Structure 1
Amino acid sequence: MTTFGYLLPTRGIVFSSTSNAELTARASADVVGLARQAEALGYGAVWVGDSVLAKPRLEPLVTLAAVAAATDAIELGTAVYLPALRHPVHVAHVTATLDQLSGGRLSLGVGVGVRPPEREEMEQLGVDYERRGATLNEALAVVSNLWEGEPVDHDGERYELDGASIGFEPARTPGIYVASAAFSPSEGFPPTVRRRLAAHGDGWLPIAMAPEEYAAGLERIRELLAEAGRPRNAVDPAYYVDVVLADSEAAAVEEAREFYRAYYGQQVAYGSKRSLSDDEIRRRGAFGPVDEVERRLAEYVEAGVERFVLRFPAADQREQLRAFASVADAL
């Protein structure tokens, strides 16, 4: 069964609010309120992104704690969280706490960051950008061990622990969704991503990937799992996708372009100062009337996607959330 989750606008409300008072009001109405609406409309999950300095936004795990208190059963996820920006003991502690408080609803999508502002962010926080993939892999190993609730000894390249313990376990061990933006049908995944998927991946959460690329990547992941002695179906096939519903594809693409310009600032086209082309925007997701969005997402379902994380790069989040509910029913 295909499920759909909604990315809450924890950055959108920051860059579009004109005063602190407006931001305070929107944190309640446009984050917690939209999470409640998503649950009422039958969405399976709400997700939040992460950044500390590069793209200012509400802190993700604090936000999900507020959402957990305001909802009943909707799943909670990060798309994506950057563990390398924090010490893994802190990550294990706060995620286990959130999972306990939410009754076992947390999934942890993780990534490393690939844009120039994220390089600067990591440098300011004392993280070696060139070693970020290896740092993330080591951090995930520490976090997974700490989630077991027992003392942990660890002597790694970046972290050293001697009998460290957070003292308790999550209510349900959070699934780790490995984000990726790079996959070559001929060369596969980068080495650090391969190791991350094989050792820690409970889900795969790529972005901006054609359906045929997705299908090839999913098959390669299943091979990696088998080589690691894990079941081939151990990874939940997810996909992060941008969607804008409008009367025409041209109108939807233009709305998305305006959103990207505000969201990313000058770093719109992967580090350049130019705006994204129509084709570059289309590659990010599904844009246009309901039937066109249904057709496009159905291609990903055919490629193996079972869980969508939806971002609506549009001004009216409530209308997009309502309008997409009919698409979800059709798929």
Structure 2
Amino acid sequence: MDVGATLFATDRSWEPGPLAEELEARGVSSLWIPEHTHIPTSRRTPPPTGDAELPEEYARTLDPFVALTWAAAVTTRLRLGTGILLPAQREPIVTAKAVASLDHLSGGRLELGVGFGWNADELEDHGVTMGQRRAVARERIEAMQALWADEVASYEGEHVALSPSWAWPKPVQEVLRPDGDGGQAPRRGVPVHLGGIPSPKVFGHIASWGDGWIPIGGAGLTEAVPRFREAMAEAGRDPDALRILTFGTIPDAGKMAHYEELGVDECVLRLPSAGRDEVLRTLDSYAPFLPG
């Protein structure tokens, strides 16, 4: 099982470049950075954390692609991930270009963790309602996948229209996608992992356009992981080719062993959104769980 790390990168946390160097030196597999374009002050939407007040870092996030580009420039092996990117709040053609460019420049090290979004206020400022967000995110991801894979890309949906177009660079990586005949075929692209609860709706999205699942919370995986694998097989996807990544984990020996036994592919550990010294203290405490 790979071990990655995630940090809420802000203008007050440790910078992503030095952090990435430290993670690579310690044998950590990946660095994942979230995004929020902005946080409306209305606070009409309750915090997803269950806190009375939304933590300040939500309003201070760095752009994930800018942050990950710095991380890419100072490392050679560390995989780079968004966790979580919000496609319903992004223009897909520009985002596809940023993704392909970073994958190209990093030598094929980029992965996308994506979600549908929880903040109604934030979504509405991007012209998307809560009820639309799943359909909008799906179409934008599918349009980006066409731009990454196809010599001449096009897409026609309810929310996205792309006329036949050229777009380079293409990503370095290839991923397995449904081929329309009940099988799978390699296509140029970056892995896209969907965050969500174990449900038929989430599993259906992953079977259609995803490459992996980021469960929300680590509880219940004993039952959920077999359900996920069964759902993928029934949809004609190879369960062994789809990754499962637990996210924001505070590690202990029993938890890590349990995840590995279940077949979790990567456990992404939570780092504090803090300065260098606090992050390093946390990494030191995680040393027994890192490859070295």
Name the aligned partner's letter for residue 74 of structure 1.
L
1:242, distance to aligned residue in structure 2 (A) = 3.2
The residue that corresponds to 2:38 in the other structure is 53
* Structure 1 residues 54-89: Cα deviation after superposition (integer angstroms, max 9, x where no partner): 322000011111111111211111111111111211
Identity of aligned residues (%): 33
CA contact 1:9–1:30 (8 Å) conserved in 2: no
The residue that corresponds to 1:217 in the other structure is 224
Runs of 4+ aligned residues of structure 1 deviating over 4 Å after TM superposition are: none
- Equivalent in 239, 242, 245 of residue 238 of structure 1: 245
Structure 1 Cα separation of the partners of residues 108 and 172 of structure 2: 5
- Equivalent in 59, 77, 84 of residue 81 of structure 2: 77
1:108, distance to aligned residue in structure 2 (A) = 0.6
Uncovered stretches (5+) of structure 2, i.e. residues with no partner: 40-57, 174-188
Establish whether residue 325 from structure 1 lines up as the match of residue 284 from structure 2.
no
CA contact 1:8–1:35 (8 Å) conserved in 2: no
1:299, distance to aligned residue in structure 2 (A) = 2.1
1:303, distance to aligned residue in structure 2 (A) = 2.5
1:7, distance to aligned residue in structure 2 (A) = 1.0
Map 1:1-331 → 2, pairs under 5 A = 2-11=1-10, 14=11, 17=12, 29-54=14-39, 55-56=58-59, 57-114=61-118, 118-172=119-173, 173-180=189-196, 182-183=197-198, 189-191=199-201, 193-210=202-219, 213-243=220-250, 286=251, 293-313=252-272, 316-329=278-291
Q: Normalising by structure 2, what TM-score?
A: 0.81
For this pair of structures, how many residues does the alignment match? Answer: 255
> Taking CA–CA contacts closer than 8 Å with sequence separation of 6 or more, which of the two structures ends up with the larger relative contact order?
2
Q: Secondary structure of the residue that 1:89 maps to in structure 2?
A: helix
Structure 1 Cα separation of the partners of residues 154 and 21 of structure 2: 41
* Structure 1 residues 73-106: Cα deviation after superposition (integer angstroms, max 9, x where no partner): 1111111111111121112111000000101000
Uncovered stretches (5+) of structure 1, i.e. residues with no partner: 18-25, 184-188, 244-285, 287-292
* Structure 1 residues 131-160: Cα deviation after superposition (integer angstroms, max 9, x where no partner): 111111111211111101422222211011
The residue that corresponds to 1:249 in the other structure is none
CA contact 2:8–2:272 (8 Å) conserved in 1: no
1:329, distance to aligned residue in structure 2 (A) = 4.3
CA contact 2:27–2:290 (8 Å) conserved in 1: no
CA contact 1:122–1:128 (8 Å) conserved in 2: yes
Name the aligned partner's letter for residue 206 of structure 2.
L
Structure 2 Cα separation of the partners of residues 100 and 314 of structure 1: 29
Bigger Cα displacement from structure 2, 226-235 vs 308-317: 308-317
Q: Secondary structure of the residue that 2:170 maps to in structure 1?
A: coil
CA contact 1:41–1:322 (8 Å) conserved in 2: no
* Structure 1 residues 14-66: Cα deviation after superposition (integer angstroms, max 9, x where no partner): 4xx4xxxxxxxx6xx53211111000001011110111113220000111111
More helix by share: 1
Q: Provide the aligned C-alpha RMSD in A.
A: 1.9
CA contact 1:149–1:168 (8 Å) conserved in 2: no
